[in-house]
Amino acid sequence: MADDLCFFIKDMLIVRPPVKNSLVLRISLLAFVMVCGVFMCSIGLKQISNFTKAGFIDIKVVDKPCEVPNVEKWERPYVHFPNPTTFNRAECACNPVRYFVISSTQRSGSGWFETLLNSHMNVSSNGEIFSVKPRRTNMSTIVDTLDKIYNLDWLTSASKNECTAAVGLKWMLNQGLMQNHEAIVEYFKAKGVSMIFLFRRNLLRRRISILANAYDQSAKPLNGKHKSHVHSHDEAKILASYKPTINTTLLIPELKQADNMVKQALEYFNSTRHIILYYEDIIKNHTVLEDVQRFLRIPQMELKSRQVKIHKGPLREQVENWDDIKKVLNGTLYESFLHEDYKVS
């Protein structure tokens, strides 16, 4: 056949003018390259199919039930072996994973708390996933989102190279959690999800933080940037230098509303396995973080955050109209907020 081809080319060489000849030569060369390409491709495909076969065998191994760690019977539903679709857990496949939600309200230290949790090498907390509205449109978008997170297919900066032993997200009460509480409780029960509630004891301090943060959002004193959290003492000082004036007419109703929302949440999710934490307690005593790690059944580690607290002075120095506030709260259910204070070095 090679000879035929040669004759054919020779024929062309003789009959056709040189320019056309070179064209034909080029066409035949192209044809040859194409034939070779198809051949190489078919070898490649065979190898790929072998490769996927090997992958399939791997997955078979993973599918073999992992050994459930020695836990009490009630705890079994909380032990998971996710099988992500976006990557292979490989040597971590049989490392048990716990599912959690950090449930909180704005300006309660949950951002700081989440950085602490994420400093644990086996924890992935994926941030405020439901601050994006379309994800909380209805229960089916919520379930889709949660399924992806708990299957370890939600890839964010919180995803770890290490074996994940606890995966979760931060979910504010006003981000569809309260509205859909019944269906979400069912989901948590079916999926074996635990809740970490994080609240502030002193709701007056939270109120001040909300107002200061709202001010910062418009004034942006840090070089024109809005920062809800800071990493340096200088930045914290600048942000804390703004003193809001609290509307004393609205203060009591606002505190009551915040207080009730927390109570309502604890009632709604009472049947879900949970732990209740207070921001002030974590600041005062880091042993609370040991409780959290015990709750999540993860090995104890020292947890660290680079975030710096913004408001650390006494409360009276953080508002413009302290005397008015004192008058309004005196003798009420919330009077203790005036006195409960803490110092942070």
Ligand X SMILES: *[C@@H]1O[C@H](CO)[C@@H](O)[C@H](O)[C@H]1NC(C)=O
| Nearer to ligand X among residue 49 and residue 137 (C-beta) | 137
| Strand extents, DSSP E, the chain | 98-104, 123-125, 166-172, 193-199, 274-278
Token pair in block for residue 137: 């449109």
**Can you read off the two tokens belonging to residue 32?**
């040859």
Residues of this chain that interact with ligand X (CB under 6 A) are: 95, 121-122, 137-138, 140-141, 162-163, 165, 247, 249-250, 266-267, 270, 285, 287, 298-299, 326, 330-331
DSSP state of 195: E
CA–CA gap between residue 345 and residue 284 (Å, rounded): 11
Least Å distance, CB 296 to ligand X, is: 10
CB of 161 to ligand X, least distance (A): 7
CB of 345 to ligand X, least distance (A): 13
Nearer to ligand X, 186 or 234 (CB): 186
Provide the pairing of β-strand 193-199 with 98-104: parallel
Cα–Cα distance for residue pair 134/112, rounded to 1 Å:
25
271 touches 343 (CB < 8 A): no
Judged by beta carbon, residue 305 or residue 321, the one nearer ligand X is 321
Q: Where are the alpha helices (DSSP H) in 131-276?
A: 139-150, 181-191, 203-219, 233-240, 248-268
User: Hey, how many other C-beta atoms are within 10 angstroms of the C-beta on 238?
Assistant: 17
How far apart are CB 107 and ligand X at their closest, in Å? 20
Nearer to ligand X, 21 or 297 (CB): 297
Q: Which is nearer to ligand X, 151 or 228 (CB)?
A: 151
Taking the complex as a whole, the smallest distance from the CB of residue 80 to ligand X amounts, in Å, to 12
Nearer Cβ to ligand X (65/134)? 134
Our CB check for ligand X shows the closer of 12 and 94 to be 94
H/E stretch holding 5 reads helix 2-15
- Separation CA 39–CA 179 (nearest Å): 60
CA 309 distance to own-chain centroid: 21
Nearer to ligand X, 224 or 331 (CB): 331
Q: CB of residue 2 vs ligand X: minimum separation in angstroms?
A: 58
Q: How far is residue 233's CA from residue 309's CA, in Å, rounded to a whole number?
A: 8
CA gap 263, 280 in Å, rounded: 18
Nearest approach, Cβ of residue 289 and ligand X (Å)? 11
Q: How far is the CB of 267 from ligand X (least distance, A)?
A: 4
Calpha distance 237→230 (Å, rounded)? 10
Write down the least CB distance from residue 299 to ligand X, Å.
6
**Which one, 16 or 316, has the nearer CB to ligand X?**
316
Q: What is the DSSP string of 139-173?
A: HHHHHHHHHHHHTT---STT--SSPPSEEEEEEEI
